[in-house]
């Protein structure tokens, strides 16, 4: 029974996170747990478990006697997330490229294909598939703590990825940058890879600064 409950909570977590990333849940209103539970066809117990986990992930905040709210996006938070990514991710990608097996390289190609498929017809999935791709470039690395930190930052970045891709043409640029990243990663071209990773993250941050007014 406990396994079923955990599985259901995990499913709810994924659905609600998608609603947060896509902007379906507003930031200025408490989440109506009764209505959301009815919408999802679940009880409030696994829903509360999922909401508590989303708070731990930094996507929700809770207020005494008021419930859960979506944490507002901000220029300051984007600055911090992407500055941390710049300090950690390029080196992590390089370490992973050197450790990657043929199976890891195929997994990265599959992740990019899934991201491209989402961009061509399932835009609500793009942020999650973008995270999957970037993690495929990091996960083969030998540094477990670094991998966990990068994944945490990727989760926090999902809403900003969604925001960043709103202007026309951004998806095309991202596609080209991702393809170049994968080619350098698969070839273990460490100097080029580190430069491409830093440039990709830095360009996204520069765009977000303009979009968020900083």
Domain hosting 6: range is 2-70
185 shares a domain with 102: yes
149 shares a domain with 79: yes
191 shares a domain with 90: yes
- The reported pLDDT for the residue numbered 110 is 98
- The reported pLDDT for the residue numbered 33 is 93
Whose CA is closest to 86, among 140, 158, 28, 157? 157
110 shares a domain with 59: no
- The reported pLDDT for the residue numbered 93 is 98
110 shares a domain with 22: no
pTM above 0.85, yes or no: no
Q: Of the candidates 70, 88, 105, which is a domain's last residue? A: 70
104 shares a domain with 61: no
175 shares a domain with 81: yes
- The reported pLDDT for the residue numbered 5 is 53
- The reported pLDDT for the residue numbered 134 is 97
- For the stretch 29-75, pLDDT in tens is 899 999 999 999 999 999 999 999 999 988 999 998 889 999 999 99
- The reported pLDDT for the residue numbered 109 is 98
| DSSP string for residues in the chain | -HHHHHHHHHHHHHHHHHHHHHT-S-SSS---HHHHHHHHT--HHHHHHHHHHHHHTTSEEEETTTEEEEPPP-HHHHHHHHHHHHHHHHHHHHHHHHH--HHHHHHHHHHHHHHHHHHTT-GGGHHHHHHHHHHHTTTTSS-HHHHHHHHHHHHHHHHHHHHHT-STTHHHHHHHHHHHHHHHHHTT-HHHHHHHHHHHHHHHHHHHHHHHT-
Q: What is the dihedral of CA 109, 111, 113, 114, to 10 degrees?
A: 170
Q: Of the candidates 20, 35, 70, which is a domain's last residue? A: 70
The CATH number that applies at residue 35 is 1.10.10.10
106 shares a domain with 6: no
The CATH number that applies at residue 199 is 1.20.120.530
116 shares a domain with 63: no
- The reported pLDDT for the residue numbered 4 is 52
Q: Quote the number of domains for the chain.
A: 2
Which ranges of the chain have pLDDT less than 50? Answer: 1-3
């Amino acid at each position: 029974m406990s396994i079923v409950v955990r599985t259901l909570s995990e499913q709810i977590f994924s659905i609600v996170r998608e609603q947060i990333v896509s902007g379906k849940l507003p930031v200025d209103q408490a989440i109506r747990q009764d209505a959301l539970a009815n919408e999802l066809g679940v009880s409030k117990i696994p829903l509360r478990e999922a909401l508590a986990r989303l708070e731990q992930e930094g996507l929700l905040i809770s207020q005494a006697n008021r419930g859960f709210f979506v944490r507002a996006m901000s220029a300051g938070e984007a600055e911090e997330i992407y500055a941390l990514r710049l300090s950690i991710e390029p080196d992590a990608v390089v370490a992973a490229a050197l450790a990657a097996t043929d199976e890891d390289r195929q997994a990265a190609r599959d992740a990019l294909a899934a991201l491209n498929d989402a961009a061509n017809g399932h835009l609500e999935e793009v942020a999650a598939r973008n995270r999957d791709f970037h993690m495929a470039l990091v996960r083969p690395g030998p540094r477990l703590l670094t991998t966990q930190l990068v994944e945490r930052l990727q989760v926090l970045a999902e809403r900003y990825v969604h925001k960043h891709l709103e202007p026309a043409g951004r998806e095309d640029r991202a596609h080209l940058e991702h393809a170049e990243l994968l080619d350098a990663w698969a070839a273990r071209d460490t100097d080029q890879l580190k430069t491409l990773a830093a440039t990709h993250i830095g360009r996204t941050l520069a765009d977000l600064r303009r979009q968020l007014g900083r």
